[in-house]
Structure 1
């Protein structure tokens, strides 16, 4: 609770040993508070937190034996990289000779073998992130907590570090709980994703299942783009009957766009086709996105750019078609 406001409500979550779980949500969804509860920085007003069968709700953060990486890295600015990594070992009473061995091994593992004597201010953002991860891992904690770990990096470096994080997780096998608002990061890194909204869990599942089979409109639109087809001028065909209180949804990349007179596809009997007109075309390097008006609805279509591909301009008439099996139904 923050005053009269409950930042997290009725949160019930089981994390499996060794999995990479991401808590995903927009600002104000309660994801960071959930992580602070797990870390021990915020006490729960009710309920319990159990790790390996032991209640830790009343255990202070420094006694929970967890590795934590913050978005700001929180490196000691007055200590060298080597001393930053030695600190948690020293706090655990590891002898000096063994500390040197463990630090050398960890620096090599995160590709910083030649950077041990540098100060944090002499490192790039990606290098500082590696030091922060190494410091969290070096004491061999059973749980690793990541708070927006890649949020301070530019796009290219963030993608490189996503690969590095996946490799580190595979190598060390740590139970990892990550908080982020970055959907692509969550999809790339996670074994499971918890989508939060206004302090509650909206849906929990694997990345593939969440993206392909969202249960609510919020999850469908927050985790990627989605065409929510409400009150269309055409009947949406599907292989399944729509459950009560739901609307049809289809992902933009599942829709194909062609000229109105183009030959039908070989699986046309499994598809629905509609006629429309392009209202906008957005070129984004490897992808091209169309906004197509179909009656009173505007559908988004996303296709990979390929040589020899027909390009449609605003005002062009087009035909859209999609597999009826790709239509999903979400609650509003």
Structure 2
């Protein structure tokens, strides 16, 4: 939820970035509130990284303007912008100790040595790496390097933090751990943060709002819950999680307009044995029968692909004690609430 009492810390005003005749970003307008965590999400080539590079000052817009704190920075080089940046590669100085890596931004700002030492000590305590002051980056694990990169970006108290695929180099378990770390640091420091990622789970976990981009333009901006539950377009529904698009007879009770399609999330569909006598459908519930064509066991979940006529529906079911499991070839009944069906633009 955006706090209406807070002003916009970052603004893109009708920004276009071209490389020759190719427009990597087109007519981008976006405002990020003070203290907000906004993630720009999209596939390769969507324009998300170009957008971040313009915000960081490594690229300039072809047309339009970018403001930080109400001041135009479209023509201000990166080193003159007061912001912290964390790259996927971390970009730590390999020949400098952890302490020197952290103190470097403070030296560039003319902070006195006594205060630098105090800030370094406090920051190492905050990221749980006290005692690592004299180690080189090569002597740290991937997660420890990530913590130092975050600490270095935050140590000078910049008003803006930029994250470029910050967890892309980590394995799954460490990624989940670092998501909690980033979320905690954002809450503690209250810093306006813009993150770029292609990882849907990361975006959903970290963000106050998510900006979904495709082909250089914004498809939708909303809270994680709203984006997942009420996607505006087929692309957003498909990109952010899994989606079933209902065709033919499965849509007869869900009226659509030209240029739209019905969609339901896999976890909203219930799967069970075909009962006799069958329970009739009602105004609130849709029932369909089909055959399991695939079952994948994934620990806490079972994922089924069920053929219903000419359609294939994906169903995700949380594993529970004494729960009936279905196998390939089993006849099954599917039910879902009509209220869980969403109409999205093609």
Q: Which residue of 2 aligns with 1:215?
A: 232
Structure 1 residues 93 and 290: CA distance shift in structure 2, 3 A:
same
SS in 2 for 1:292: strand
C-alpha distance in 1 between matches for 2:145 and 2:134: 13
Deviation for aligned residue 1:266: 12
- Mapping for residues 1-332 of structure 1, pairs under 5 Å: 1-230=18-247, 232-238=248-254, 241-261=255-275, 270-332=284-346
Residue 65 of structure 2: SS of its match in structure 1? coil
Offset, 1:268: 5.9
- Distance of 2:125 and 2:282 partners within structure 1: 56
Give me the TM-score of the superposition, normalised by structure 1: 0.96
Worse-superposed segment, 254-263 or 277-286 = 254-263
Runs of 4+ in 1 over 4 A off after TM superposition: 262-269
Q: Which has the higher contact order (CA 8 A, sep 6+)?
A: 1
Ranges in structure 2 where 5+ consecutive residues have no aligned partner: 1-17
How far does the alpha carbon of each residue in 1:64-115 deviate from its partner, in whole angstroms, 9 at most, with x for none? 1010000000000000000000000000000101100000000000001011
Name the TM-score, length of structure 2 as normaliser: 0.93
**Given the superposition, is the C-alpha separation of residues 262 and 170 from structure 1 closer, same or farther in structure 2, using an over 3 Å criterion?**
farther
Q: Secondary structure at the match of 1:13?
A: strand
Residues 248 and 115 (structure 1), Cα distance of their counterparts in 2 relative to 1, 3 Å cut? same
Deviation at 1:262, TM superposition (A): 6.9
Query: 2:166, 2:237 → 1: CA distance?
Result: 24
Residue 233 of structure 1 and its aligned partner are, at CA, apart by: 3.5
CA contact under 8 A between 1:276 and 1:292: conserved in structure 2? Answer: yes
SS at match of 2:204: helix
Instruction: Label 1:274 to 1:98 Cα distance change in 2 as closer, same or farther (>3 A).
Output: same
Deviations 1:300-329 (A, max 9, x none): 000001110001111111110000100001
Distance 2:291 2:238 in 1: 23
Q: CA deviation at 1:263?
A: 8.1
Q: CA deviation at 1:235?
A: 3.7
Aligned length: 329
1:81 to 1:201, Cα distance in 2 relative to 1, 3 A: same
Question: Residues 103 and 120 of structure 2 are in contact (CA less than 8 Å); yes or no, is this contact kept in structure 1?
Answer: yes
Q: Higher strand proportion, which one?
A: 2
Secondary structure of 2:22 counterpart: coil
Where in structure 1 are there 5+ consecutive unaligned residues?
Answer: none
Q: CA 1:264 to 1:137, structure 2 compared with 1: closer, same or farther past 3 Å?
A: farther
